[in-house]
Structures are given as structure tokens and as C-alpha cells.
């Protein structure tokens, strides 16, 4: 499962994030945790690239990649596992993200108002950006703590978000 579904060398920045329609992608589907977000972002990315919006498509693919990982909060420093493993291939893991992708995530995290996405992006930046900046751990903790504690959210991964917030603390 490739992490590159767009032409190599495409650089993205804040304006590409603002233009990519990430909120519309999330609004169009059912909110059932990170796997639903992954599907929404990857579908929107394919559409953007088909429409010739390569930079916006890359942004959406990066967001899809971030949401495609399963959260295993019991591990402090290795909390993400592939959501899919098949025929010797797997979906994205944090180590598959390039340094410039992590820098991009660090730039956009403060503009993300979706708590699930903000938590995931903050967590990935905390794990991968060198040197580590505690600000990103705090962003992740605060966003994970805002995930509601109700029955519906609990089964979609809300309990894992709370546990991850505690471990990061």
C-alpha cells in the first residue's frame, strides 16, 4: 500500500491545506472514528487529483494516511499500527511519513478545529518531529480529552483517545 499516490516532488503548504476542502470531506460522511475519516479523505483526495488539483489532493492523502493508522494507546512511543495488512503489504505507519510531511503537519495543526484530526496530527508531530516539542504533545492531549465520553463515541475509538491522553500526560 503505497504512501505516494501523487506525483513525487509536490510540495504542499498552508494555502493548499486551506483550499483542499478537508472540512467538506469530513462533513459528507458518517463520523465513525478514524477509519471513516480515512475513507472520507482518501475519496476526496482521488477526486481532487482527478480534477487536476494535485497539491490539494496530496494534502488530503496525507490526512488520509494520518487517519488510517490504528491507535494502540498502551504503547507510549509506538502507538500506531497499520489498519490493513495483506499479501505482504500494509497500510501507512508513522515511519512512512517523510520529514517534510511532518513539518507540514506541524504548520497546520493549529488551524484544525476537528478534535479527532487535531489529536491525531498533534500526536504524529509529537512522535516524529525532531527534536521533540512538548507543545505538540499538549495539543494531542487537549484534543484527545475533548472526544466525548458517550456510548457511541466509546465504540468508535473514544476510549483509546482517552487512554492515549493519559499516557501522553
118-148 pLDDT tens trace: 999 999 999 999 999 999 999 999 999 998 7
Cell, residue 87 = 499479501
* Sequence-distant (≥ 6) Cβ neighbours of residue 46 within 8 angstroms: 5, 57
pLDDT digits (tens, 9 = 90+) for 62-103: 999 999 999 998 888 899 999 888 998 998 999 999 999 999
Predicted TM-score (pTM) of this structure: 0.90
Check residue 149 and give its pLDDT.
77
- Within 10 A of 4 (CB to CB), how many other CB atoms are there? 11
Reply yes or no on whether the pLDDT at 4 is more than 60. no
Whole-number Å distance between alpha carbons of 82 and 59: 20
The reported pLDDT for the residue numbered 163 is 85
**pLDDT above 50 (res 3):** no
85 secondary structure, DSSP code: E
- Range name among 6-10, 18-22, 61-65, 132-136 with the lowest pLDDT average: 6-10
Domain ranges of the chain: 14-168
Amino acid at each position: 500500500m503505497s504512501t505516494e499516490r501523487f506525483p513525487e516532488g509536490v510540495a504542499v503548504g498552508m494555502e493548499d491545506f486551506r483550499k483542499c476542502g478537508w472540512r467538506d470531506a469530513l462533513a459528507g460522511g458518517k463520523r465513525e472514528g478514524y477509519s471513516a475519516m480515512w475513507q472520507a479523505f482518501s475519496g476526496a483526495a482521488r477526486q481532487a487529483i482527478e480534477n487536476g488539483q494535485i497539491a490539494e489532493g496530496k494534502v488530503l492523502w496525507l490526512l488520509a494516511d494520518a487517519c488510517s493508522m490504528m491507535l494502540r494507546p498502551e504503547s507510549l512511543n509506538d502507538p500506531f499500527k497499520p489498519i490493513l495488512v495483506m499479501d505482504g503489504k500494509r497500510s501507512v505507519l508513522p515511519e512512512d511519513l517523510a520529514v517534510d510531511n511532518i513539518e507540514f503537519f506541524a504548520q497546520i495543526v493549529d488551524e484544525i478545529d476537528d478534535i479527532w484530526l487535531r489529536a491525531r496530527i498533534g500526536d504524529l508531530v509529537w512522535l516524529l518531529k525532531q527534536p521533540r516539542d512538548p507543545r505538540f504533545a499538549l495539543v494531542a492531549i487537549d484534543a484527545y480529552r475533548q472526544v466525548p465520553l458517550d456510548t457511541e463515541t466509546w465504540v468508535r475509538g473514544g476510549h483509546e483517545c482517552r487512554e492515549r491522553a493519559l499516557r501522553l500526560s
